[in-house]
Structure 1
């Protein structure tokens, strides 16, 4: 049975006991509105760790748009019910005052990898992500942390932070989980109308097609222009970015290195992101 914990002090008492017993601890950081993608991370953690903590905190500091923060799904009771069959050890559900008590002014900034794409379109977003993830690592004292590849740039930011600050936690990437029509699972998908949800299947279709064409030697600029036109022709847009980038640094893609095709697009008033390997 999953124990719900709301305070940092209680969480630390629990994790200290686990450590004394020699248990390996995994953490799955989430903002709730859980779906099968999150559950796949929990299962991955359970397969490798003795104890698993799922965190649920809608972090206000990573929202550069107050309206987006206000609209983000808040479904704690449903999340707990979805998580129950997996029997994670702890569901950590702090409130904002627990994470950011009065007087809290410190922040973590990760340079380089955080700058383009999401960083350019959402100023301050990755400062908020890095800060809360660093705090959750400290609070949970986890040995391993599980992140989905759907938020590819976020994954690279966290990896860079852990490496630069020599944090004693292993970041474990897990493949994106997709619906039968290919759309990457996301909490934001809940906000799409039925018609928009049907349109959204165009996103993975276009991405995988473009990645295949580039991988086969197609001209990158021409392929991306055609992909953008296809998305807009299907009623999606605006397209904030559609870019081929180095998979690790998020800089310009280099021959002979791993590359990633990344996209951010608006649909039905909802901003969706996705990425595929090239």
Structure 2
């Protein structure tokens, strides 16, 4: 596996991968890799001739009171994991390379970014949209792969690609990959490592409570009452607070108070032991 740290080196390496008309899949990450990230790499390998993974802890998507400095960085370990999965190229730019002096551009995606995590983390999705647009332009992948654990992020990226006419990859080539979960159902996340043993045990109540709420909603129970019960179950389990627990249209992310027949998602964010966990599941 090759590693590129400058834009010139990246473009040269990608051009060599594309020689002969071969395809490139992109897996953007912020490092601290786990099985969820590796699943994205495997999916990309199945769909494309070569996989380019990026590792960049993007400062523009962190708020002033968030954990940028504490975010785990383990480039050597992550690199070894990517190589073992057959990744062809690692794009690992520094902040100065990604945001050179004089950088003044910001991409804001209205609508899908406004609620949920967007309401709780002002500017977060601007940072996501801007850095992902740059990654798409830098690598020019045929396809790009993102985990569905952050459903709102995936919706923002698809809207950004559609509105800015990013042909490679177009919205239809931005692939959402199902959330990878631990044995007890908790969605894999780099932030899970922040949990104490006690909080980690309690955190498994999140997916369990979500499944219970989905069962009730799909069975015809009142949506508002089902979501209230979900929140109560999390507080009883030891969660400090629930930022949101909402049923939403899967595409527009407009909140729903009843099922409409269109695909829907249950989206939840809750805090336990100082760690903010997010999850989402399909509701039919």
Equivalent in the alignment of 1:258: 263
Tell me, yes or no, if structure 1 residue 130 matches structure 2 residue 129.
yes
Tell me, yes or no, if structure 1 residue 72 matches structure 2 residue 71.
yes
Equivalent in the alignment of 2:36: 37
Residue segments in structure 1 that go unaligned for 5+ positions in a row: none
| TM-aligned CA deviation for residue 173 of structure 1 | 0.7
1:34-88 per-position Cα deviation (integer Å, ceiling 9, x unaligned): 0000000000000010111010000000011344111111111121122221120
The CA distance in 1 between the partners of 2:54 and 2:123, in whole Å, is 22
Change (3 A) 1:109 1:67: closer
Equivalent in the alignment of 2:182: 179
Deviates further, 7-16 or 28-37 = 7-16
Residue segments in structure 2 that go unaligned for 5+ positions in a row: none
Equivalent in the alignment of 1:189: 192
Deviates further, 82-91 or 109-118 = 82-91
1:192-231 per-position Cα deviation (integer Å, ceiling 9, x unaligned): 1111111110010001111111011110011011110110
Equivalent in the alignment of 2:278: 273
Equivalent in the alignment of 2:103: 104
The CA distance in 1 between the partners of 2:251 and 2:27, in whole Å, is 22
| TM-aligned CA deviation for residue 156 of structure 1 | 0.5
TM-score (norm 2): 0.95
Equivalent in the alignment of 1:221: 224
1:108-151 per-position Cα deviation (integer Å, ceiling 9, x unaligned): 11111111111100000000000000000001010100000001
How many residue pairs end up in the alignment? 277
Deviates further, 233-242 or 174-183 = 233-242
The CA distance in 2 between the partners of 1:96 and 1:57, in whole Å, is 8
Change (3 A) 1:222 1:67: closer
Tell me, yes or no, if structure 1 residue 205 matches structure 2 residue 208.
yes
Structure 1 residue ranges, 4+ long, deviating more than 4 angstroms after superposition: none
| TM-aligned CA deviation for residue 243 of structure 1 | 0.5
Equivalent in the alignment of 1:19: 18
Deviates further, 35-44 or 194-203 = 194-203
Equivalent in the alignment of 1:86: 85
SS at match of 1:71: coil
The CA distance in 2 between the partners of 1:167 and 1:152, in whole Å, is 20
1:242-262 per-position Cα deviation (integer Å, ceiling 9, x unaligned): 011111111123612111000
Deviates further, 100-109 or 67-76 = 67-76
